Amino acid sequence: MTQERDSTTYAPSAETVARAHVTAAQYDEMYAASMQDPEGFWAKQAERIDWIKPFSQVKDVNYDFGNVSIKWFADGSLNVAANCIDRHLATRGDQPAIIWEPDDPQDAAQHITYSELHGSVCRMANVLQSMGVGKGDRVVIYLPMIPEAAYAMLACARIGAIHSIVFAGFSPDALAARINGCDAKVIITADEAPRGGRKTPLKSNADAALLHTKDTVKCLVVKRTGGQTTWIDGRDHDYNALAAEASDSFEPAEMNAEDPLFILYTSGSTGQPKGVVHTTGGYLTYAAMTHEITFDYHDGDIYWCTADVGWVTGHSYIVYGPLANGATTLMFEGVPTYPDAGRFWEVCAKHKVNQFYTAPTAIRALMGQGPEWVEKHDLSDLRTLGTVGEPINPEAWNWYNDVVGKGKCPIVDTWWQTETGGHLMTPLPGAHATKPGAAMKPFFGIAPVVLDPQTGVEIEGNGVEGVLCIKDSWPGQMRTVWGDHERFEKTYFSDYKGYYFTGDGCRRDEDGDYWITGRVDDVINVSGHRMGTAEVESALVAHAAVAEAAVVGYPHEIKGQGIYCYVTLMNDREPSDELMKELRTWVRTEIGPIASPDVIQWAPGLPKTRSGKIMRRILRKIAENDFGSLGDTSTLADPSVVDDLIENRANKG
């Protein structure tokens, strides 16, 4: 993967500028206003949302370590589902809210209007209520990318219950940990999840997970394939049968702006994944605003984000942002390469997609298949292209720009995180020139700072590099870690006092534009999925044959980063190909297929300091095949282990 910087700039066309919600001059003016008077700025933006009780306070934030507290619009009340559905019914009841494109292109797409969405969400809310779900209760959602996933999210929001979505690629163990982590009352799943022509047995995964949870957890099962499932009477509930009987009206609950809307588990540099908590008023305001402005979404457009609702991108930019704006949002069940490498472009042409939002890993995979897969399809409706999840290499950016966008669609490289709720840095289509691989400019209300990693002092001026922090809060920011506020403060507010620490490195170039350089902690980014190396390590050492493990990321052509594991076996165990295979399967079982090790190297010893700390810097270099710059190894307890690791580096060459 080429990582060299390409500083060519691409200015937006006159046509793009003429259409845009925000031009360069407007950006400057609005950005300045958002910095000078954040309260005034956000009070105005919150008018995007229908409030039941208007707020009188806008912002109440304390970033001081030990007392961190973040509140927006704290005395206002609203309902998110009413904002995403009911308020559109009078004007766009017959407009598609969701276009659903199934895994198999031979199956029919569905167009779900706002009225139909209203009925389905109310039915689901009634079903959940009949299962005992009320305000503040937690509901785990473990579903394929089917419309019922959106219904489930919105039904929870309508009741005032808190959803926690678990990506369908997670294993039963990971699912159980998340059900227990938030003490969920109900899990919503489906019989099977078709993806790329294969089927994941979701219900049987849920069955396995439920062996490790409280007996009181109930399971609501959506029929997707009709595949056989085991059934436990009393525990398992048939969604399709219950919804058919349920009423299609349900009064939306009045929620405080700071009531939790959802929990979403994400990986960090230490320990097990943490439950990121997003709340109601600020989150929705921020998701709606960024969706409209970043993608330059206009009424009547067809918008497609290819993410899965199991990730924050799917929350903010498939469901909440677009529906709050009354948009038509496309939901895709499949994968980019099924049945062939033209699928994305076939879907774009079929549904006349105007804004398309995907991840660098997908772009790289498709780029490798050649331009003919794109050229076969009519992409003349495309106007904005987006990317998210990891730094995009210039080669992939240029291909996206030239082959997909034909040089006429601005690329918004949106940098943000599960924690941030919405985009924090991105060029805006009609306001900014773009550069291949740069996140360019802060969104309104966002004050990025580049800090010296050692001293924590702000580095002023341009042409500088350091760690990326944010100076002040924005409405979409996470509020806490579920059940562990201390961990929240420690993770984000303790290393650099008075700032929100992003965990990313960043460069502000000579023009003052921002480039994300990647994580500065032990988090790796595999195909745009965030993975804590500590999580994979603890999965490995849980295997009886493993004495010790160290996991690092290394550059991977398609995935961005691959998972490289150094494994030290117990004295009585011998390395073998079978054991290597067994460990791979083991990690998949412990965490899920997304955590499959790409490389396992047997390590008789790991490089450690005399105090026993593993020197990951050295392991990273070896994994990268970069032996010339290992740095000082003389402080190691046993420097000879390094020679052994180099000598035996896995998949040599």
Among candidates 164, 156, 168, which has minimal Cα distance to 203? 168
Separation of alpha carbons 108 and 102, rounded Å: 7
- Quick check: 285 binds ligand WT7 (CB under 6 A)? no
Sole binder of ligand WT7 in the list 162, 246, 312, 348 (CB under 6 A): 312
Give every CB contact of residue 37 below 8 A, 6+ residues apart in sequence: none
CB of 388 or CB of 587, closer to ligand WT7 = 388
Q: Please state the φ and ψ torsions of residue 292, each to the nearest 5 degrees.
A: -70, -45
- Closest approach, Cβ 401 to ligand WT7, in A, equals 15
Sole binder of ligand WT7 in the list 126, 189, 313, 491 (CB under 6 A): 313
- Closest approach, Cβ 420 to ligand WT7, in A, equals 7
CB of 181 or CB of 386, closer to ligand WT7 = 386
Count residues near ligand WT7 (CB under 6 A). Answer: 22
Pairing of strands 255-256, 260-266: unpaired
Binding-site members for CoA are: 195-198, 313, 527, 588
The phi-psi region of residue 61 (left if phi > 0; otherwise alpha if psi is between -120 and 50; otherwise beta) is beta
Give every CB contact of residue 631 below 8 A, 6+ residues apart in sequence: 617, 618, 621
Site string for ligand WT7, 251-270 (x = CB under 6 A): ---------------x----
Site string for ligand WT7, 590-629 (x = CB under 6 A): ----------------------------------------
Separation of alpha carbons 195 and 199, rounded Å: 6
Site for ligand WT7 in 481-520 (CB under 6 A): 502-504, 516, 519
Separation of alpha carbons 124 and 25, rounded Å: 46
Q: Which whole-number Å values give the CA distances from 170 to 143, 209, 509, 587, in the listed order?
A: 11, 11, 39, 11
Separation of alpha carbons 514 and 525, rounded Å: 19
Dihedral (CA of 463, 468, 472, 475) sign: positive
- Closest approach, Cβ 111 to ligand WT7, in A, equals 27
Region near ligand WT7 per CB under 6 A, out of 80-88, 223-231, 385-393, 606-614? 385-393
- Token pair, residue 272, equals 């097990």
- Closest approach, Cβ 412 to ligand WT7, in A, equals 9
- Quick check: 530 binds ligand WT7 (CB under 6 A)? yes
Region near ligand WT7 per CB under 6 A, out of 86-94, 178-186, 192-200, 305-313? 305-313
- Closest approach, Cβ 307 to ligand WT7, in A, equals 8
Output the DSSP codes for 25-48.
Answer: HHHHHHHHHHHH-HHHHHHHHGGG
Pairing of strands 546-556, 529-532: unpaired
Sole binder of ligand WT7 in the list 194, 391, 442, 560 (CB under 6 A): 391
- Quick check: 314 binds ligand WT7 (CB under 6 A)? no
Site for ligand WT7 in 400-459 (CB under 6 A): 413-418, 439
Q: Which residues bind ligand WT7 (CB under 6 A)?
A: 266, 311-313, 388-391, 413-418, 439, 502-504, 516, 519, 525, 530
